[in-house]
Structure 1
Amino acid sequence: MPRADDEHWLDDAAGRLVRPYTVSNGRTQPSTRLELLSMVMATGRLPHGQLEPDHAEALGLCGSPTTVAEVAARLRLPAVVTKILLSDLVDAGAIDARSPGPAAEPTNTAVLETILNALQRRL
């Protein structure tokens, strides 16, 4: 949900007006290996210093266990940019990440369809 101070960064027709490479400071690879189905959750520890707005929003979405894919969908950012944001938070100790289990193999279409249906219901 957009905040009031985000008004000038969002456009109903165009979406986000800030380019994804700006959000990730031009980085294209996360420092921590994360899969779309990796589970992330806040640890309760806050990183030192001030969080960037996108980092703070991502951290806010990790209050309960959630997948990287769901965080990306809620942030309306590409998955690779979301992985970079989340890996920054992992490096800072603000979130923990767990790899998906064997049932989450990328070729397991039943699991992928279940996730897609759940995301469509929530969005």
Structure 2
Amino acid sequence: MPGEPDELWVDEQAGPVVRPFAVARGRTRQRGAALDLIAVVVTAEVPMPDPRTLGPEDEQILERCLRPRAVVDLAADLLLPVGVVRVLLSDLLDRGLVTVQRPAGPRTGPTDRRLLEEVINGLRAL
């Protein structure tokens, strides 16, 4: 009957339930520079470490990143929150097992006035 203390809140088909903070070993912040949602991650071409030193999520990340993957796509594939994936990626990055191509930042040089005028004229034409 619902509301009883020994009632299971998941069915047998759900399998083991692991909270996201447990996957990230209790951490909520990544080390180092922030990983943008559209940063591209690739498994580094280095010898793989002993599998006993990797968690199951680490192995999945390394497998999926054999081809370039955006952080947000990786999180969707793994069915994990982006924050958890960022923590896991920062660990792998620290170990040299992945490389990250961050998106280009904003231009710091002078703004091209002619380009801005063309954009404004194009918007007015709409």
Contact 1:42 1:96 in 2 (8 A): yes
State the Cα RMSD in Å.
2.4
2:74 aligned with 1:74: no
Shift of 1:16: 7.1
2:44 aligned with 1:43: yes
**Quick one: which amino acid aligns to residue 79 of structure 1?**
V
**Higher gyration radius (CA):** 2
Which moved further from structure 2: 12-21 or 92-101?
Answer: 12-21
- C-alpha separation between the residues in 2 aligned to 1:78 and 1:16? 18
Number of the residue aligned with 2:27: 27
Shift of 1:101: 2.5
TM-score where L is the length of structure 1: 0.67
Shift of 1:15: 8.3
2:94 aligned with 1:91: yes
- C-alpha separation between the residues in 2 aligned to 1:15 and 1:38? 32
Contact 1:47 1:93 in 2 (8 A): no
Residues 81, 12 of structure 1: alpha-carbon distance in 2 compared, 3 angstrom cutoff: farther
- C-alpha separation between the residues in 1 aligned to 2:15 and 2:31? 27
**Quick one: which amino acid aligns to residue 31 of structure 1?**
R
Aligned length: 93
TM-score where L is the length of structure 2: 0.65
Give a deviation string over 1:71-116, Cα, whole Å, max 9, x none.
100000000000011111101101001111258xxxxxxxxxxxxx
Number of the residue aligned with 1:3: none
Give a deviation string over 1:6-63, Cα, whole Å, max 9, x none.
xxxxx79868711000000110111132011001001122245521111111111110
- C-alpha separation between the residues in 1 aligned to 2:14 and 2:71? 24
Residues 78, 29 of structure 1: alpha-carbon distance in 2 compared, 3 angstrom cutoff: same
Contact 1:47 1:92 in 2 (8 A): no
Structure 1: runs of 5 or more not aligned = 1-10, 104-123
Structure 2: runs of 5 or more not aligned = 1-10, 107-126
**Quick one: which amino acid aligns to residue 59 of structure 2?**
A
Residues 68, 12 of structure 1: alpha-carbon distance in 2 compared, 3 angstrom cutoff: farther
